[in-house]
Amino acid sequence: MIKLSDIRKIYNKGKSNEFEALKEVSLTINDGEMTAVIGKSGAGKSTLLHILACIDSYEDGEYYIDDMLVKNLSEKKLAEIRNSKIGMVMQDYALVDDFSCIENVLLPLDFAKNKKANKTELAMNALKSVGMDGMAKKPVNKLSGGQKQRVAIARAVVNEPSIILADEPTGALDSKTSAEIMGLFHKLNENGKTIIIVTHDMEIANQCGRIIEIFDGKIKF
Amino acid sequence: MKNICKLSLKMLKRNKLLNIYIIIQMAIVFAMTIFMVSSLTSRYHYYLPFKKFIESDGYFCNLTSATTVLGKYVQCSSDISEAVYGAEESNVQASYRVNLSNIHEDNMYALFSYSYDEEIYNNWIPDMQEGNWLSDIKNSGSEEIPVVVYDTTHSMKLGDVLEKQSIDYIEDDQGNGKNEVKKIKLRIDGILSDDAEIVHYNELEYGDCRDIFSTVKDITEREGYETLYLFRSQDIHSADIFCMSSGIAFINTNCNISDELKNENQTIIIGITEDFMELKDFQKNSQKYITDEIKKIMPIFLCILLLTIIITISVNAITTYKEVTNYALYYICGLTWKMAMLISLIHAAFQTLLALFTAVISMLVCYFINIFSNTVLEFHPLQILVCLAMIIMNMIFAFIMPYIIIRNSTPREILTSN
Ligand SMILES: Nc1ncnc2c1ncn2[C@@H]1O[C@H](COP(=O)(O)OP(=O)(O)OP(=O)(O)O)[C@@H](O)[C@H]1O
Ligand SMILES: [Mg+2]
């Protein structure tokens, strides 16, 4: 379960270009929910997602993952959470460009606290689940956008995290490829994963069980 | 940990061209540093071997062959120490002209041959073309006297046995003098190279440690000999060959003797030779020569030091800027920043080792194909120390550079800013 209470995010605090991107956001997302986060450009959607992914800080408020107060966690424990509890899919894929598909997917397995013996097999399975097993050895900078997004999803799921966060995963893709990618998220959701997708595409949002709209850094009800 | 090393290696492979460039750059800096330290330490080259003598009380002398002390020729160091107050036998180290000539020749000193006291040949080992220097000669117990030669005709070979003679002038009871000829066998144990420098007195040209040495080529040319023969004093004595002090002598006196005795010593020394210096002055001059030389190269040395620091910083800044996005990606996948810094550190370690390896290999290659024959290149513990310091500096920067760049930004900022 994810719980945010009164989260405030201020960029450039104390400087002349100070900007409050999130204003007292409170939110609860239950396990197994598939949620869409929508809102205008600049509303704070990505900011929210990055905080949820434990890769950005916030000024005020409390964030709990499975009843753990994130603020109190050590750097090491946080890394462990990013590694095993959360799978993150970024809008621009965020892959290591000159690694092959499998090398990218192996990263979370390499960083895992509990080392698994069959890493290559697990990585291949993850690639298979997104239909990319045929290109495992190919460097990702030779792939198309849709293929990159699949590899990014494979990397996000390879450690079997319970939460998957995706920032505009279909933003750069044509509608056919978008539908295929959404199919993957649906399948993951059916397998019990909590899924949060940031999108500005209402068609995508409507496929999710729940829609949260952000407006000017606040959740709109 | 294995995975961290794996990622560091991948990082090395990734920016191949940049890495090769950086490694070459670092190798050049290493080479420059090694040369620089060489030229710093080489200033002590003429000082260190006889430091113990130079820094004691006493005299640095040039003795001529005809030197007599207490009415007899100086044949060994005790002949001098017996005459000088506060000097023991072991405190006098000299070189001697040896009485040798070719068979059937009646000129007593026809061969250009010298012998050295133990501490002189032990403390200075000249460049050998082949074979052993006097200090490395094993006593074989054979009759043949080991000799190290410099042969301008290049016709002598290692292991050759030469037959020579020594002529002694003896008087019988009636006072009739006659020459007694003794046959001597010499075995060539070492051959000096053309640019070998040996302990050999020339003149008090500088009044410092440079005066102790001359190159064999110069000596033979100046004196007009084809061959130079060098012996250990003890071999000459045990073969009962006549010799006379000639050339350099360090006479160390006990520093606790009274001023009166010191003055007396001075008178004695003047009686022996006019060509001498008090070691105190000799030491002062030597020190001044060294500091002057070092002062000359100090600016270059400082520039290289500065250059090294700047290169180290920029190399690490470039590498980190290139890799910081990947560090952020690793972070998202569950790596701590600390581990990312470790990747950077290990990467830098590989880089530096490769650079050091490149530097040493290329210097050795240059050394063996003789590009640097006129350059000073010495391998000292100091060089290793300086290289180690450079490596450590590089590692420190490799470790803190990601920290400096990452410190004020979150991974998402790093990702979005690129
Ligand atoms: N590093 C930053 N410094 C200052 N302001 C920032 C920074 N990052 C984001 N912002 C601002 O915070 C606000 C929210 O940004 P965010 O990226 O969360 O918007 P978004 O809803 O994801 O928009 P989009 O749909 O365009 O991706 C924006 O007004 C943006 O200008
Ligand atoms: Mg966004």
Kindly give, in sequence order, each residue whose CB lies less than 8 Å from that of residue B111, ignoring residues fewer than 6 positions away.
B98, B100, B101, B102, B164, B227, B229
> Rounded to a whole number, what is the distance in Å from the CA of B298 to chain A's nearest CA?
46
**B288/A contact by beta carbon, under 8 A:** no
Instruction: Report how far residue A102's alpha carbon sits from residue A107's, in angstroms, rounded to the nearest whole number.
Output: 9
Tens of pLDDT, residues B274-310: 888 899 999 999 999 999 988 988 898 888 889 888 9
Number of other CB atoms surrounding residue B14 within 10 Å: 18
CA distances from A82 to A50, A112, A148, B331, B351 (A): 11, 10, 21, 8, 31
Q: What angle do CA B20, B21, B24 make, to 5 degrees?
A: 85
Kindly give, in sequence order, each residue whose CB lies less than 8 Å from that of residue B364, ignoring residues fewer than 6 positions away.
none
Task: Tell me what the pLDDT averaged over chain B comes to.
Answer: 86
> What was the pLDDT predicted at A167?
92
Q: In this predicted model, which residue has the larger pLDDT, B123 or B84?
A: B123
> What was the pLDDT predicted at A10?
93
For atom 30 of ligand 1, which residue has the closest CA?
Answer: A42
Q: Ligand 1 centroid to A43 CA: how many Å?
A: 7
> Rounded to a whole number, what is the distance in Å from the CA of B335 to chain A's nearest CA?
6
> What was the pLDDT predicted at B174?
80
Q: Which residues pair with A166 in a beta bridge?
A: A89, A197
**B68/A contact by beta carbon, under 8 A:** no
CA distances from B286 to B43, B212, B380 (A): 10, 11, 21
Q: In this predicted model, which residue has the larger pLDDT, B153 or B374?
A: B153
- Burial class of residue B371 in the structure, from the number of CB atoms within 10 Å of its CB (0-12 exposed, 13-18 middle, 19+ buried): exposed
Record: contact B7-A76, CB cut-off 8 A: no
Share of chain B above pLDDT 70, in %: 96
> What was the pLDDT predicted at B372?
63
Q: Which of B52, B58, B79 is nearest to B261 (CA)?
A: B58
Instruction: Report how far residue A121's alpha carbon sits from residue B77's, in angstroms, rounded to the nearest whole number.
Output: 84
- Token pair recorded at residue B147: 């000799």
Task: Tell me what the pLDDT averaged over chain A comes to.
Answer: 91
Q: Which residue has the tokens 């649906």?
A: A186
Q: What is the dihedral of CA A38, A42, A46, A52, to 10 degrees?
A: -90
CB pairs under 8 A between A and B: 62
Tens of pLDDT, residues A141-180: 999 988 999 999 999 999 999 999 999 988 877 888 889 8
Please determine, for residue A39, whether its predicted confidence score (pLDDT) is greater than 80.
yes
Instruction: Read off the pLDDT of each residue in A9-13 and give the average, rounded to a whole number.
Output: 90
> Rounded to a whole number, what is the distance in Å from the CA of A123 to chain B's nearest CA?
14
Report whether A159 contacts A112 (CB < 8 A). yes
3-state secondary structure (DSSP) of residue B93 = strand
Q: In this structure, are strands A34-39 and A210-215 parallel, antiparallel, or unpaired?
A: parallel
Q: Ligand 2 centroid to A45 CA: how many Å?
A: 6
CA atoms in the 13 A half-sphere facing the CB of A32? 3
Closest ligand 1 atom, residue A17 Cα: 4
**A105/B contact by beta carbon, under 8 A:** no
Q: Which amino acid is at A200?
A: H
> What was the pLDDT predicted at B377?
64
Q: Which of B37, B42, B28 is nearest to B360 (CA)?
A: B28
Q: Enumerate the domain spans of chain B.
A: 2-45+290-417, 64-272
Q: Which residue has the tokens 């000193």?
A: B109
3-state secondary structure (DSSP) of residue B159 = coil
Instruction: Read off the pLDDT of each residue in B378-391 and give the average, rounded to a whole number.
Output: 82
> What was the pLDDT predicted at B90?
75
Record: contact A50-B412, CB cut-off 8 A: yes
- CA of A76: which chain B residue's CA is closest? B336
Residue A127 banded pLDDT, cuts 50, 70, 90? very high
Q: Is A64 in the pocket of ligand 1 (CB under 6 A)?
A: no
Record: contact B329-A95, CB cut-off 8 A: yes
Report whether A22 contacts A217 (CB < 8 A). yes
Number of helices followed by number of strands (H, E) in chain B = 12, 15
Instruction: Report how far residue B245's alpha carbon sits from residue B64's, in angstroms, rounded to the nearest whole number.
Output: 7
Instruction: Report how far residue A197's alpha carbon sits from residue A185's, in angstroms, rounded to the nearest whole number.
Output: 9
Record: contact B3-A110, CB cut-off 8 A: yes
Q: What angle do CA B335, B337, B341 make, to 5 degrees?
A: 110
Interface confidence, given as ipTM, is 0.93
Residue B264 banded pLDDT, cuts 50, 70, 90? confident
Strands (E), B79-220: 92-98, 101-102, 112-116, 128-131, 145-151, 161-171, 177-192, 197-199, 213-215
Q: In this predicted model, which residue has the larger pLDDT, B255 or B45?
A: B45
Kindly give, in sequence order, each residue whose CB lies less than 8 Å from that of residue B369, ignoring residues fewer than 6 positions away.
none
Q: Which of B93, B68, B98, B62 is nearest to B78 (CA)?
A: B93
Tens of pLDDT, residues A41-86: 999 999 999 999 998 889 999 999 999 999 899 989 999 999 999 9
Residue B413 banded pLDDT, cuts 50, 70, 90? confident
